[in-house]
Structure 1
Amino acid sequence: MNHNCLLTPNPNLNEKFKEIIGELASMMGHFAAALLQISHLEVANALIAYSSVTKDPVKRGRRSLVYIYCMVFGTKEERDYILTLTQNAHNNVADISPEVDDPELQRWVIATIY
C-alpha cells in the first residue's frame, strides 16, 4: 500500500476537509444552541409564545440551521439578507412582546450560536 498521499499535503483535500468539518460543527452546534436558548427563561418563554418551535419544530430547526449556515459560510449579501429576514420576524412580534427586541436577549441567542 502506498502511503505517500499521507505525507504529501494536498491543498484541495485540506480545503474540502475544512468545509466538511465546518459544516458538521455548525450543525452539531445547533443542538447545543437550542438547549442553551431554552435554558434562559425569557428566551424560552418568547420561543414558546411566538415561535413555531412547538407547532413545527422541524421547520424551526431548519430555519435556525439556514441562519447558522449563512452566518458561517455565506457571502456578505446572504448574511445581510438573513439578518433582514430575522429582524422582520422580530418586528412582527415586538409590538406584542417588546422583550423580543431586548438587545441583551438577542446577544444571548446569538452567543449560543457562535
Structure 2
Amino acid sequence: MTAPVPDRAVLRRLAAEPAVMLAAGRALLLQVAHPAVARGVAEHSDMRDRPLDRLFGTLDFLAIVAFGEQDEAERLGRGIRRLHERVTGPGYSGNDPDLQVWVNATLTDAALYVHEEILGSPGGDLSGAYVEQARYVADVLGCPPGAQPADLPAFRAYMDRMIGSLEVTDDGRAVARAVLRARKLWWLWPGLWLFRFITTGVLPPRVREQYGLPWGPRRERFLWFLLRTGAFFYRLVPGPLRRAGAPLALWRARRRMARRARRSADAAARAAA
C-alpha cells in the first residue's frame, strides 16, 4: 500500500498545461543519460520499432497518477512494479529506488523548466509545492519513504549533483537516436524536426555535448526567439481554457494503458503456450 495520497492541486495545475510537453524530450534524454536506465531501456524495450512508446507510456502514467483516482493510480503502480521485476541485468533493476528517484526527478525538472524558464512562472512557493506533490508519482511505484528530495532546495541540489555526474553511454546514444530520428515516423518529419530542435536546445549543455548533438549560438538565439514568442501568445489564452484538455488526456491515457495491458497479457499467454 502506498502512502496516503497528498494534495495534488499544484501537481494537477502544472501538469495540465500543454506547454509541459516542450520538455518531454529533455526528461527522456536525461533519464537515459544515466547508464543503468539506458541499459534497461536498450535491453528491455522495442525502441527501434516503437521509438516514442516509452515517452507516451510515461505521459499516460503521469496523466493517471495526476488526474485519476488514488486506487486507480495505486493499481497502475503495482502493475508497473510487476513489469519492472523482469527488467533486470548487470548493474540495474527496474525497481531500484535510486533509479525511481532519478526518473521521477527528470519529470519534475521538466515541468519546472517549462514553467520557470519558458513561461516565466510559477515562482518559489508554487515550485516548492510542485516538488513536494510530485513525489507522489514515485510513491505509487513503491519508492521508499524519505528516498526523494524533501523540498525545493534539496531537489535543486540533487539535480545539480546528478547532472554533473551523468555519463552518456552508447546505449543512451542509441536510445536518443531512436527517439530524435524516428525513421518509422518519417511522415511526421516537421513535428519531429521541431521536437528534436527543442529537445536538443533545452538539454543541459554538458549532457547535450555527451550525446554529440550539434548546437551553437545561432541555434540558441533562434530557439529562444521561438520559445519566447510562443510563450507570449500562450499566456494570452486563459488558464482554464489551456488546461481544459486534462480530462481528455486522462481518458486517452486510460485507453492506451488498457491496450498495453491487453498486449502484455497476450504476449505472456503466447510465451506460456
TM-score by length of 1: 0.67
Alpha-carbon separation, structure 2, partners of 1:80 and 1:35: 27
Matched, 1:73 2:81: no
TM-superposed CA distance for 1:63, in Å, is: 1.3
Q: Summarize the Cα distance change of 1:77–1:21 in structure 2 as closer, same or farther, 3 Å threshold.
A: closer
Matches of 1:90 and 1:21, distance apart in 2: 25
2:92 alignment partner, one of 86, 90, 99:
99
TM-score of the pair, normalised by structure 2: 0.31
RMSD: 2.6
Is the CA contact 1:26–1:68 (under 8 Å) kept in the aligned structure 2? no
Give the partner amino acid of 2:92. Answer: E
In the alignment, the residues of structure 2 paired with residue 91 and residue 111 of structure 1 have an alpha-carbon distance, to the nearest angstrom, of: 21
1:38 to 32, 40, 49: 32
Q: 1:29 to 1:87 in 2, by over 3 A?
A: farther
How many matched pairs?
96
- Residue 113 of structure 1 corresponds to 107
Looking at structure 1, the residues matched to 80 and 18 of structure 2 have their Cα atoms a distance apart, in angstroms, of 23
Residues 3-22 of structure 1 deviation map (CA, whole Å, 9 limit, x = unaligned): xxxxxxxxxxxxxxx86972
Instruction: Please say if residues 23 and 69 of structure 1, whose CA atoms lie closer than 8 Å, have aligned partners that are also in contact.
Output: no
Structure 1: stretches of 5+ with no match in the other structure: 1-17
Give the CA deviation at 1:99. Answer: 1.8
In 2, the alpha carbon distance for the partners of 1:60 and 1:70 equals 15
Higher normalized helix content (fraction of residues)? 1
Separation (CA, whole Å) in 1 of partners of 2:58 and 2:29:
13
Aligned partner (choices 59, 67, 84) of residue 78 of structure 2: 84
Using the TM superposition, give the Cα deviation of residue 97 of structure 1 relative to its aligned residue in structure 2, in angstroms. 5.4
Aligned position for 1:10: none
Please say if residues 48 and 54 of structure 1, whose CA atoms lie closer than 8 Å, have aligned partners that are also in contact.
no
Partners of 1:59 and 1:72 lie apart in 2 by 20
In 2: Cα distance, 1:40 partner to 1:32 partner: 13
1:56, distance to aligned residue in structure 2 (A): 1.1
Once the two structures are superposed, residues 47-76 of structure 1 have per-residue CA deviations (whole angstroms, 9 ceiling, x without a partner) of: 111123333123322211111111221210
1:29, CA displacement in angstroms? 4.3
% same residue: 28
Task: Give the letter for the 1:82 counterpart.
Answer: L
CA contact (8 A) 1:27 1:65 kept: no
Choose which of 44, 49, 69 in structure 2 pairs with 1:50. 44
* Runs (5+) with no aligned partner, structure 2: 1-11, 109-273
